[in-house]
């Protein structure tokens, strides 16, 4: 299947308690590139190998967490096609005019059954990855790849109720595949659902939580597993709070490290994972193997990983 419809997670908007500390973290430590400051003191970042203007928006607020997440879709006609389908699913769609969000075309906005605010947009100004598009080479100038050497925004994991309804929306309306799921071994109830619209093992995931609209983590892609260790070295050097040190997920098979920004929002950097195709069977994990599903190098489930959200 050619990649059309929803393309990728294109933007995550996060609340931070102290913007100066957040800029130190996301800019100097992670090495994301600050591309602008906007309305309400918002700060916008991109990762080096993305072409679109920005992928991360920070807003200073009294509580940490996520304001919204947004997927980029293939073209404007896709937005036109999707709006009535989302309404038919039972969600109210708000139409946001082009330009309301900086460098962005029009957006659809709706609230998921889990309480999360989701947006879709087809256009965001492309400013490139510094290599150009003709004879681009493979390495940008020195200093462009810096900090944790993040290539791009990859996915987010969100917590809330009604995750089966979320998955039904993503599968039936957005044409995602359910790549993996974690279920309770006794009741077979869904505890975490991993959804892909690409060849990645997941583009978004939802974990069952009693409270609506919770934020578990935003994840950034690194080029290699060695870069995960390099990031871990910097996390140690700069005393960044670690949730789970370098390990490998059973789910997705990615090499991972989890840590917190100064506001307590969880971040992940990872590398690897298998290739997902539309005919790849859904993989099921149950709670009898919770350790192996989450952290497969020691098979130990982490209490904080399962309970700390913003
Ligand atoms: Fe993740």
- C-alpha 137 – ligand 1 centre gap (Å): 30
Same structural domain for residues 66 and 182?
A: no
The CATH number covering residue 177 comes to: 3.10.180.10
Q: Is 202 a residue of the active site?
A: yes
Same domain, 168 and 299: yes
Q: Domain ends where: 103, 121, 139? A: 121
Q: Are residues 89 and 189 in the same domain?
A: no
In a domain, 135, yes or no: no
The partner residues of 155 in beta bridges, in order of sequence, read 219
User: 12 and 88: one domain?
Assistant: yes
Distance 257 CA to ligand 1 centre (A): 9
Q: Are residues 292 and 176 in the same domain?
A: yes
In a domain, 132, yes or no: no
Assigned domain for 131 exists: no
Whether residue 249 lies in the annotated active site:
yes
Contact 220, 152 (CB under 8 A): yes
User: Does residue 25 have an active-site annotation?
Assistant: no
Judgement on whether residues 155 and 293 belong to the same structural domain of the protein: yes
Active-site residue, from 155, 180, 216, 276: 155
pLDDT at 198 (0 to 100): 96
Q: Which of 25, 53, 116, 217 is catalytic?
A: 217
In a domain, 193, yes or no: yes
**Counted domains in the chain:** 2
Q: Are residues 255 and 173 in the same domain?
A: yes
Residue of 33, 53, 54, 249 marked catalytic: 249
- Cα–Cα distances (Å) from 124 to 34, 49, 72, 82, in that order, read 16, 15, 8, 18
Q: What CA dihedral angle connects 231, 9, 53 and 55, to 10 degrees?
A: -40
Write out the residue range of the structural domain in which residue 77 sits: 6-121
d(CA 178, CA 194): 6
The pLDDT of residue 138 = 95
Measure the CA–CA gap between 278 and 295, rounded to whole angstroms: 26
Task: Say whether both 183 and 230 belong to one domain.
Answer: yes
- Catalytic site residue 212? no
Is the domain of 209 the same as that of 108? no
Domain-ending residue, one of 121, 138, 166: 121
Is there a single domain that holds both residue 107 and residue 162? no
- Between the CA of 134 and the centroid of ligand 1 the distance, in Å, is 33
**Of 70, 22, 66, residue with least CA distance to 45:** 22
Final residue before a domain boundary, out of 121, 142, 159:
121
Q: Does the residue 146 lie in any domain?
A: no
Please indicate, yes or no, if residue 276 is contained in any of the structural domains: yes
Q: Are residues 84 and 185 in the same domain?
A: no
Which pLDDT belongs to residue 1? 43
User: How far is 235 from 238, CA to CA, in rounded Å?
Assistant: 5
Which positions of the chain have pLDDT values less than 50?
1
Determine the Cα–Cα distance for residues 95 and 103; give it in Å rounded to an integer.
17
Taking the model in full, what pTM does it have? 0.97
Residues 202, 211, 226, 274: which is the catalytic one?
202
Whether 155 sits among the annotated catalytic residues: the reply is yes
Any domain includes 130: no
- Is there a single domain that holds both residue 30 and residue 102? yes
Q: Determine, yes or no, domain membership for 85.
A: yes
Residue 306 pLDDT: 83
């Amino acid at each position: 299947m050619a990649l059309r419809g929803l393309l990728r997670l294109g933007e995550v908007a996060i609340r931070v308690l102290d913007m100066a500390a957040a800029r130190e973290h996301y800019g100097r430590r992670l090495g994301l590139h600050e591309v602008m400051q906007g309305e309400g003191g918002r700060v916008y970042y991109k990762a080096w190998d993305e072409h679109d203007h920005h992928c991360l928006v920070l807003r200073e607020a009294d509580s940490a967490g996520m304001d919204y997440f947004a997927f980029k879709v293939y073209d404007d006609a896709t937005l036109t096609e999707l709006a009535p389908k989302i309404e038919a699913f039972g969600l109210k769609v708000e139409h946001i005019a082009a330009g309301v969000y900086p460098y962005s075309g029009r957006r659809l906005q709706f609230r998921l059954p889990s309480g999360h605010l989701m947006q879709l947009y087809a256009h965001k100004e492309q400013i490139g990855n510094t290599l150009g598009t003709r004879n681009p080479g493979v390495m940008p100038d020195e200093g462009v790849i810096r900090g944790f050497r993040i290539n791009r925004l990859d996915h987010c994991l969100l917590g809330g109720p009604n995750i089966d309804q979320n998955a039904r929306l993503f599968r039936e309306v957005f044409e995602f595949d359910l790549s993996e799921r974690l279920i309770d071994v006794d009741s077979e109830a869904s505890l975490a659902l991993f959804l892909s619209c690409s060849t990645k093992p997941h583009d978004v995931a939802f974990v069952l939580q009693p409270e609506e609209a919770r934020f578990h983590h935003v994840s950034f892609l690194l080029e290699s597993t060695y870069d995960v260790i390099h990031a871990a070295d910097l996390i140690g050097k700069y005393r960044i709070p670690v949730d789970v040190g370098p390990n490998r997920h059973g789910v997705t098979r990615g090499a991972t490290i989890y840590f917190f920004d100064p506001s307590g929002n969880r971040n992940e950097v990872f590398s690897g994972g298998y290739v997902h195709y539309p005919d790849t069977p859904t993989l099921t994990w149950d709670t009898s193997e919770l350790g192996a599903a989450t952290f497969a190098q020691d098979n130990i489930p982490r209490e904080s990983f399962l309970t700390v959200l913003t």
